[in-house]
Each structure stands twice: as C-alpha cells, then as structure tokens.
C-alpha cells in the first residue's frame, strides 16, 4: 500500500482574512491558476461571510470551498454559531475542525472537536481535523503521546465508514504562522505515528486510505520536499494561501 490509495489534498486556511469582494477575486484568481491540475484536490476554507461569494466564484472550477468551524448542535440558542446544514446549503463541502487557534483562543477541547466532527460527518461534510503538539511538548519529548492522545480522543466513536470523509491535518503549533516549518523528516515521522494510531483504532486499510496533511508555514519554497514524504498527503496552508500565485505553486508541487 502506498500514497496512490489516498487523495492528496491542498487546502488553504484563510483564517480571518478577506472581505467577500476580496474573496471573490482571490477564488477566481486561484481557480484560473489551478485549472486542469488534477493531481490533487484543491480546497479554500474561507470565513463564513465569504462563503456565498467564494462558492459562486468557484462554480465550474476544480476549487472546492470549505468553512473554518461548525457547531455540534443542529440548531437552537447558540448565538454566533453556524450549523452543518447551513454550510451545506451554501455549497460548502469541507470544514476545518479543531484548529490550534480555536483550541488556544476559543476554548476548543478534544471533546468539542469530537462533537463537532461527529455532527459535521452526520450532515455530510468532509472534515479537516487539526491536531498537533505545542513547542513545550516537543521539547519535552512527548509529541508522540500528545498526537496519539488527540487522534484517539478526536476520533472517538467515529466509524470506519465515516473515516472516508475525515482528513487529518498534522499541524505542530510551533510551526503555525511562525515561519518555522517542521523538517520533512519531522512531518513524516509524526504523520506516520498518526497513521499508526488510526490503524490501531480501525485497521490498516482505513489507515492507508486516510489523507494526512501537514500544516505549519508550508509555502511555495518548501512544499515539494514535504509532499514528497510517504505519509504526507497534502497541506493545510495559512499565510501562503492568501496569495493565489503562491498557493498555486503549492498545488503544482502536489502534481508529482
Ligand atoms: P500557516 O498556517 O501556513 O500560516 O503557518 C497554517 C494553519 O494554521 O493552518
């Protein structure tokens, strides 16, 4: 078994950037640059208010649109939150869940990540589930324990069938937005550890079929060597995804 049994996915995480008009232009520009690049899936995860403009601009192209969070309840008194069926009806296919910025600044825990993931999958969204160690954990030599624990807790109660719609994004927190990228060897090592945990939770077939991305200062200069690694099946890209020309070069790097 090897990479050919799973999809390579290059996803942009725009975070809190771009107004709807800027989003429309950036999606259109990105779509033009990645047209015909069939070697990977291309996703842009945009702020909620940009979804309508982004979906419209992505129509008829090979760019898919994602959101950056979703609530675990279907509806009700949850001021400021967005439910999975709302996203689906707007044309969203993917949703990022458990990004480290949500864990760090908005009280997201493995328990809420798990609940959001279940709700998103039940509604029919594909989930980009983020996990990764902070710097102190890496320095203490407990990266394997941390990512294994997150993988187990975040995927608790999720069926093998549902795993077809789960993408894991391994994002070492110390590499996000810092310009410090994990080395290809570090990314490969941890993505392989996560795949091993999935094999134990499910089986080898599910593990081999699961797309595991790397994220954290991936850019047009370092993408090729990261993506060349056996267990790195794509990228979740923040800063560089805001510049269509840079993002398109990462998509190019994934065509090999
Ligand atoms: P970065 O962000 O590429 O700007 O480091 C990655 C992410 O947070 O998903």
What are 65-101's pLDDT values in tens digits?
A: 999 999 999 999 999 999 999 999 999 999 999 999 9
Q: Specify the pLDDT at position 1.
A: 47
Could you tell me which of 43, 40, 37 has the C-alpha nearest to residue 8?
40
* pLDDT tens digits, one per residue of 20-41: 999 999 999 999 999 999 999 9
Catalytic residue among 41, 93, 133, 171: 171
Going by C-beta distance under 8 Å and a sequence separation of 6 or more, which residues neighbour residue 29? 244
Closest atom of ligand 1 relative to the 178 alpha carbon: 5
Contact 154, 112 (CB under 8 A): no
Which structure tokens are listed for 109? 């825990």
Ligand 1 test: best mutation among 100, 182, 214, 216, most atoms within 8 Å of CB? 216
Measure 176 CA to ligand 1 centroid, in angstroms: 5
Which structure tokens are listed for 193? 């550890």
CB atoms within 10 A of CB 11: 26
DSSP secondary-structure letter at 176? T
In this structure, the residues whose C-beta lies within 6 A of any atom of ligand 1 are 13, 171, 176-177, 215-218, 236-240
DSSP per-residue string spanning 43-111: EEE--GGGHHHHHHHHTTSSEEEEES---SSSSSS-TT---HHHHHHTT--EEEES-HHHHHHS---HH
Measure 65 CA to ligand 1 centroid, in angstroms: 17
Q: Specify the pLDDT at position 2.
A: 65
Going by C-beta distance under 8 Å and a sequence separation of 6 or more, which residues neighbour residue 93? 43, 64, 65, 66, 125, 126
Closest atom of ligand 1 relative to the 218 alpha carbon: 3
| φ, ψ dihedrals at 13, nearest 5° | -115, 100
Is 144 an annotated catalytic residue?
Answer: no
Measure 185 CA to ligand 1 centroid, in angstroms: 19
Catalytic residue among 93, 99, 137, 188: 99
Measure 78 CA to ligand 1 centroid, in angstroms: 28
As a whole-number percent, the residues of the chain with pLDDT over 70 amount to 99
Cα–Cα distance measured from residue 108 to residue 110, given in angstroms and rounded to the nearest whole number: 7
pLDDT truncated to tens, each residue of the chain (256 aa)? 468 899 999 999 999 999 999 999 999 999 999 999 999 999 999 999 999 999 999 999 999 999 999 999 999 999 999 999 999 999 999 999 999 999 999 999 999 999 999 999 999 999 999 999 999 999 999 999 999 999 999 999 999 999 999 999 999 999 998 988 899 999 999 999 999 999 999 999 999 999 999 999 999 999 999 999 999 999 999 999 999 999 999 999 999 7
């Amino acid at each position: 078994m090897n990479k050919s049994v799973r999809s390579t996915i290059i996803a942009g995480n725009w975070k809190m950037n771009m107004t709807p008009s800027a989003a429309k232009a950036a999606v259109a520009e990105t779509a033009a640059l990645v047209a015909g690049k069939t070697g990977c899936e291309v996703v842009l995860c945009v702020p909620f208010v940009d979804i309508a403009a982004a979906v419209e601009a992505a129509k008829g192209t090979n760019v898919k649109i994602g959101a950056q969070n979703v609530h675990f309840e279907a509806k009700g008194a949850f001021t400021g939150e967005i439910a999975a069926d709302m996203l689906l009806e707007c044309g969203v296919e993917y949703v990022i869940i458990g990004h480290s910025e949500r864990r760090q600044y908005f009280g997201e825990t493995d328990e809420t990540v798990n609940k959001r993931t279940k709700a998103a999958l039940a509604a029919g969204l594909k989930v980009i589930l983020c996990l990764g160690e902070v710097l102190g954990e890496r320095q203490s030599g407990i990266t394997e324990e941390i990512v294994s624990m997150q993988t187990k807790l975040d995927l608790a109660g999720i069926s093998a069938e549902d795993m077809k719609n789960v993408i894991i994004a391994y994002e070492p927190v110390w590499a996000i937005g810092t310009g410090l990228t994990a080395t290809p060897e570090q990314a490969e090592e941890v993505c392989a550890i996560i795949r091993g945990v999935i094999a134990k939770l499910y089986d080898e077939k599910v593990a081999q079929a699961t797309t595991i991305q790397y994220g954290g200062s991936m850019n047009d200069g370092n993408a090729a060597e990261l993506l060349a690694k056996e267990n790195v099946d794509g990228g979740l890209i923040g800063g560089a995804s805001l510049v269509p020309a840079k993002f398109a070069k990462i998509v190019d790097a994934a065509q090999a």
